[in-house]
Copies of this chain bind each other. A is one copy, B any other.
């Protein structure tokens, strides 16, 4: 939540005295009013070609400019139906609508509210796009739709569940098609008029994925509690909180059955009583649906601010420490077994060179732990802690390629870790040969989509640093996706500026890191790519692992995976949400997959993987997505394609033309 409190407005269906209405609403602590622009006193001429001398509404002098630009949401006359079947009516209403829109532009109101009353809105979409095209300052368009379409029930005797679903589905279609006609313009939002009965959870969730700018609460859906104050049903309370969490404002509308202040006070209380924010939620405040290009820590060097943010994670390094503790403990166990075995063999073979042998085998060889990509040292710290906890002697080698971070590491070795065995080795882990080899390598090279910061390539390149049967922390990671609907993310990706304006296709062929808020999950998460370390090499026909020119196992980090889902609800697919999880060691995990998210961990936002043209999908459809991870000598990139029944998208990012990770 960016706002600390609910922002509420009050709707007036008639404002004979607009000044008085604004005063009343502000006095009752409402932030704005929703009001028709046309003064009821002004009857408009039958024919638009004569301008009435009296103008068509009140003078704009009666409110201050600040009030117009801050306090007024202008509602277009609800009787205007520019998609009416009669061409005469249509043309007349077009003229009036145009007149009202131009008036709104002149007044500088922050938003114009327009109601959809049927599925026919193409002409409305056309007029509004012309309005936006010809405006210097874009006005927000608030498209008002009821949650429930009574009309679809008109012919049915009763409210069977089935029919109700149709009625709730209907109005979503009005909005969704209209928004599609507007090319998912992000200046166009929806205002949802809440009904007394609520639809199924699935339908509510779908609405939560739409850019809902406000919800209208008619006073008749409140009931009075014992003390006579207006309150909402539990289901309605939940809906309001979910909506406000996604930045929706609330508009109270309809006949006043109670003091108008009471509604607002109730809503404020409702908001204050909501469950506390999760750490991630607090951390992400202000970053909701804000797209960032993924980091390229291999090609670029991270800056100090980025390190600052990542080192703050309260959970991540804890998990690493636990994993290192377990790994050290297991090593100790193994070594002591080995030790016992050695001793036993010595005994059975009768003593040879006694005296020397005993003292040597009892002296502990320190465990060599290499921290690959040590940054400013958080994993060195975790290793030192783990060593203390397990009472292990460790020799730590911290490899880091970023000279800026090496400075910090070296300073810490001098000042903090002077009594410990920590060595800093500057350089790229892929092109290094160190001795002794490591018992354990520890790294944190994962991006939001697991391998997208090239962890596989880095760790494969560092294989020669690890003893045979050595331990890699992490040892396994997997990327995940699920198809989502989010016009907001899609529109944001479309117009995002990537510098090179020539390459228009770039934007929708790129992975974006983003804390997603305004999205709807069309289906559950599925695995995409899996990697494990040390990686298994490619085997030849005789079953032997093949080696490269440096004698390292030949690995193949290219991948191709096809994932599919059955769709359970009509929807519009705009792309995928991408996540990862990772096994550090044993059962110590890190996860940003929603269902298994490591509690409290804040280091990674998910990724948004857009598709070029949103796909309309229907209940029962099968979505089939294929992802490729491609590798050449210089870079790594993803390509993807989506098929829905017999339809398909184009191939995204062929040959990495729009986005790539440099090796």
Contact = CB atoms under 8 A, between A and B. Distances in A.
Contacts of A554: 49
B647 A616 contact: yes
A47 B540 contact: yes
Contacts of A403: none
A122 interface: yes
Nearest to A134: B655
A122 B87 contact: no
A49 B643 contact: no
Contact of A177 (B47, B122, B181, B648): B648
Residue among A173, A570, A613 with max Cβ neighbours from chain B (10 Å):
A613
Interface residues of A, number: 50
A125 interface: yes
Contact of A90 (B132, B560, B657): B560
Given A173-B646, A502-B501, A122 B651 contact: yes
B49 A655 contact: no
A180 B560 contact: no
Given A129-B655, A181-B651, A655-B130, A646 B49 contact: no
Nearest to A556: B91
A123 B650 contact: no
Given A87-B560, A133-B657, A641 B173 contact: no
A130 B654 contact: yes
A648 B650 CA distance: 18
Contact of A122 (B132, B182, B626): B626
Given A90-B560, A126-B628, A181-B641, A616 B646 contact: yes
B650 A177 contact: no
Contact of A641 (B126, B541, B651): B126
A122 B504 CA distance: 23
A299 interface: no
Contacts of A646: 173, 177, 570, 616, 618
Contacts of A126: 628, 639, 641, 651, 654
Contacts of A91: 556, 558
A538 interface: yes
A49 B87 contact: no
Interface string A529-573: 000000000101100001000000010101010000000001000
Contacts of A540: 47
A79 interface: no
A446 B475 CA distance: 73
A431 interface: no
Given A122-B626, A541-B47, A651-B182, A613 B613 contact: yes
Residue among A173, A616, A641, A651 with max Cβ neighbours from chain B (10 Å):
A651
Contacts of A180: 647-648, 650
A200 to B, nearest CB: 20
Contacts of A122: 626, 641, 643, 648, 651
Interface in A196-216: none
Contacts of A173: 646
Contacts of A657: 133
A183 interface: yes
A574 to B, nearest CB: 14
Contacts of A133: 654-655, 657
Interface in A276-294: none
A635 to B, nearest CB: 13
A556 B657 CA distance: 49
Contacts of A570: 646
A46 interface: yes
A123 B560 contact: yes
Given A538-B49, A540-B47, A646-B616, A125 B651 contact: yes
A45 to B, nearest CB: 9
Contacts of A613: 613
A49 B616 contact: no
A134 B657 CA distance: 10
Contacts of A177: 643, 646, 648
B125 A641 contact: yes
Contacts of A639: 126
A643 B123 CA distance: 13
Interface string A229-250: 0000000000000000000000
A89 to B, nearest CB: 12
A183 B129 CA distance: 28
A73 B46 CA distance: 71
Contacts of A628: 123, 126
Nearest to A642: B122
Interface string A66-105: 0000000000000000000001001100000000000000
Contacts of A504: 504
Contacts of A618: 646
A46 B613 CA distance: 41
Contacts of A630: 130
Contacts of A501: 502
Given A177-B646, A647-B616, A650-B183, A546 B123 contact: no
Contacts of A546: 49
Nearest to A82: B560
Contacts of A560: 87, 90, 123
Contacts of A538: 49
A504 to B, nearest CB: 5
Interface string A586-613: 0000000000000000000000000001
Contacts of A650: 180-183
A90 B556 CA distance: 14
B123 A541 contact: no
Contacts of A46: 541
Name the 3 nearest CB pairs between A and B, nearest first: A129-B654, A133-B655, A183-B650
Given A130-B655, A173-B646, 6 more contacts: A49-B538, A91-B558, A122-B651, A177-B648, A181-B650, A616-B647
